Amino acid sequence: MGKNLRKFWIEERSGSTLEDYVLREAEILHSRGFVKNYIEKQEVTNRLGGRIMINESIPYLISKKPLLNCEKDEYSFDILLNQVMKVTLQSIC
């Protein structure tokens, strides 16, 4: 049994609620920093970077605009795990 799971089991049996446990773990996560990961982001730009999306860039190339549609991987807090955590905490509080 993992350390956090063991701690939860002991606290749960002593009368603590699941909401209290989630809030304590969220405080620990907030103090350590939230999880970050890479997300894909598409943008129209005049600077070459990332992967060029040729099919989406063709209208710009035909109209002779110096723009390309590029897909980049961005390191961000806005990932599914943090979004689920946020919604869960909002529904509890």
53-87 per-position pLDDT tens digit: 999 998 988 998 899 999 998 888 888 877 887 78
Report pTM: 0.48
In the chain, % helix, strand, coil (3-state, to 5) comes to 50, 20, 25
- List phi, psi (to 5°) of 45: -145, 165
As a whole number of angstroms, the distance between CA 31 and CA 44 comes to 36
